[in-house]
Amino acid sequence: MIRRSDNVAATRVRDIVGSGSLRRLARRAGMHRFHYSPVWGLSRTSPLDQARFMDHFDRFVPARHRGFARHQLSHIVPRQHWGIGRVRLHGWHLYFKGGWGSGSGAVDHQVAFLESGRSRIALAIFTQSDGSHRYGKQTLRGIASRLLHALPPAGQ
């Protein structure tokens, strides 16, 4: 888990874990459209796969690491805290991660789960061919705002 996207660190973890373990995790998580590539930007998944993963996130993180993993996803560094991270969600706790095509606007994605008491929501928003990273970030925020605007406040 990372608070700041870092392809070098992610590559190190991938090298330690290995492609076989990544593929097994994807199968266990029900990711039917996951296709591994040694080049991060060429690996593929789907919004459904990612939403399913986030909905059951705790199942895929060892119990002793869950607190740390959740902390990382809820404390993304400010400069990468865009899209859904800018949506006001009263009473909901947000855990999310973003991905983008090196700031080119080729792809801008975010996956998240939100919790309020015993309620949980997971979502994944993928965009491509945005024209610019700025436009992609605005699109992610707009979609997340529209999807989540009717969430009841905590405790309802």
Assigned domain for 70 exists: yes
Quote the mean pLDDT of the chain. Answer: 91
What is the structure's pLDDT at 154?
Answer: 65
What pLDDT sits at residue 11?
A: 85
What pLDDT, on the 0 to 100 scale, is given for residue 155? 61
Domain with 62 in it? 47-148
Is the pLDDT score of 87 beyond 80?
yes
8 vs 71, more confident: 71
pLDDT confidence bin for 23, thresholds 50/70/90: very high
Dihedral over alpha carbons 100, 79, 77, 50 (to 10 degrees): -20
Please report which confidence band the pLDDT of residue 100 belongs to, taking 50, 70 and 90 as the band edges. Answer: confident
The mean pLDDT value for 75-92 works out to 91
Sheet with 107-116, edge to edge strand ranges: 93-100, 107-116, 119-128
* 128 occurs within a structural domain: yes
Tokens of 32: 């039917």
Q: Is residue 52 situated within a structural domain?
A: yes
Task: Answer whether residue 116 is part of any domain.
Answer: yes
Could you report the per-residue pLDDT of 110-129, keeping only the tens digit for each?
Answer: 999 999 999 999 999 999 99
Task: Please indicate, yes or no, if residue 37 is contained in any of the structural domains.
Answer: no
Rounded to 5°, the CA angle 107-9-138 comes to 25
What is the CATH number for 86?
3.40.710.10
How many angstroms separate the CA atoms of 3 and 71, rounded? 9
Are 10 and 40 in contact by the 8 Å Cβ rule? The answer is: yes
- Per residue, the 3-state secondary structure of the chain, as one string, reads CCCCCCHHHHHHHHHHHCHHHHHHHHHHCCCCCCECCCCHHHCECCHHHHHHHHHCHHHHCCHHHHHHHHHHHHCCCHHHCCHHHHCCCCCCEEEEEEEECCCCCCEEEEEEEEEECCEEEEEEEEEECCCCHHHHHHHHHHHHHHHHCCCCCCCC
Query: What is the pTM (predicted TM-score) of this model?
Result: 0.90
Evaluate if residue 25 carries a pLDDT over 90. yes
pLDDT, tens only, 27-70: 999 999 999 988 877 889 999 999 999 999 999 999 999 999 99
* Number of structural domains in the chain: 1
* Per-residue confidence (pLDDT) for residue 96, from 0 to 100: 96
Is residue 107 over pLDDT 80? yes
71 belongs to a structural domain? yes
The answer to whether position 78 is within a domain reads yes
Give domain status of residue 138, yes or no. Answer: yes
What is the percent of the chain where pLDDT is above 70?
Answer: 97
